[in-house]
Amino acid sequence: MEPVETPHTYDALMQTLNWRRSIRKFTDEPVSDEDLLKIVDAARLAMSGANSQPWEFIIIKDKETMRKLREVYVSDDYQFTYWLEQQRDPEYRHPYFNYPPEEIEEQMVRATGWADAPAMIAICYDPRKQFGSVLSARANLADGSVSVLSCSMGHVSMLTQLAAASLGLSSARIDTNSQDGYRKVLDIPEPVRLYTMVPVGHRAYQPGPPRRFPLEDLVHYEKYDHAKLMKGEQFLEHLKKIRGQGKGNYGKR
Ligand SMILES: Cc1cc2nc3c(=O)[nH]c(=O)nc-3n(C[C@H](O)[C@H](O)[C@H](O)COP(=O)(O)O)c2cc1C
């Protein structure tokens, strides 16, 4: 690739960042093969630990494959997550799953609107590729730390969604807790694993503005400002608030 001019594209970037939202219902308007390839071409520029680039992409447009993915999601992921979530105090439940069992069928249809997207990019990874990073990066998995592999995959999926947005296309990430069912549908060989599924298409609804914490709560100058550290009850209130806000947003689907 030719070296490119130093960019000063903050405003354009902010426009793309604000427009990119997790969109979970799409119109029937198709997405071109060219755009899908452009998306993954951009995504592969993501940074990764030791430049390990553990990602691979499966581009899916076949309706029957999408139907099968939805089926696996409902049987292997959704029901399990729903019942596990019911073990928590309702105020702390993920808004996706905070409703009574008699509504499960109806909610499941809403929660799988992504399966009607005209295209999907399944992002996979080959865990062996992370072996390029330093050993300590994998040994240091103390509480609260994240793995180099997850970080790299987070970057590539974010870029996938941003690249889609830059083309006027909407997307989401549909995370799964299981592997086997998806592996069968997509014929993914060992040791490759599915990381997340990114439906791509044209948004069927307009989301509200992005909900983010106030900038001043997040930024410290020179040293950590201890007045900004959430304590006990404060943190629980914070958690309830984000759960509550999420409910309204997910309800838009
Ligand atoms: C690691 C990660 C996992 C996520 N998993 C899911 C998911 O399984 N299903 C889903 O609909 N959204 C998922 N999301 C999207 C978040 O809910 C979303 O990014 C967040 O609510 C902010 O909304 P926005 O993307 O519209 O700005 C995930 C996001 C991240 C970063």
Atom of ligand 1 nearest to the CA of 111: 11
Q: Examine the pLDDT at 143 and tell me if it is beyond 70.
A: no
State in Å: Cα 175 to ligand 1 middle: 8
Structural domain spans, the chain: 19-251
Q: Examine the pLDDT at 245 and tell me if it is beyond 80.
A: no
Q: What is the pLDDT of residues 2-48, one digit of tens each?
A: 778 899 999 999 999 999 999 999 999 999 999 999 999 999 999 99
Q: Would you give the end-to-end CA distance of the chain in angstroms? A: 40
Alpha carbon 252 to its chain centroid, in Å, reads 18
- The finding on whether 150 has its CB within 6 A of some atom of ligand 1 is no
> Could you tell me if residue 56 is left (phi over 0), alpha (psi between -120 and 50 degrees) or otherwise beta?
beta
| Secondary structure string (H, E, C) spanning 212-251 | CCCHHHHCCCCCCCHHHCCCHHHHHHHHHHHHHHHHHHHC
Q: How far apart are CA 148 and CA 141, in angstroms?
A: 10
Write down the mean pLDDT value for the chain: 90
Tally the residues of the chain: 253
Residue 98 to residues 5, 45, 103, 230, 248, Cα–Cα distance (Å): 49, 38, 10, 25, 12
Atom of ligand 1 nearest to the CA of 114: 11
- What residues contact residue 220 under an 8 Å CB cut-off, 6+ apart? 228
Q: What is the pLDDT of residues 112-134, one digit of tens each?
A: 999 999 999 999 999 888 887 77
Half-sphere exposure at residue 57, Cβ-oriented, CA atoms within 13 angstroms: 22
- The finding on whether 198 has its CB within 6 A of some atom of ligand 1 is no
Confidence of residue 66 (pLDDT cuts 50, 70, 90): very high
Residue 116's nearest CA partner among 77, 156, 172 is: 172
Q: Give the SS3 label for residue 174.
A: strand
Per mean pLDDT, which of 109-113, 195-199, 226-230, 233-237 is the most reliable? Answer: 195-199
- Structure-token pair, residue 89: 């105090």
**Would you identify the CATH topology of the domain 19-251?**
NADH Oxidase (3.40.109)
Strand partners, 171: 22, 200
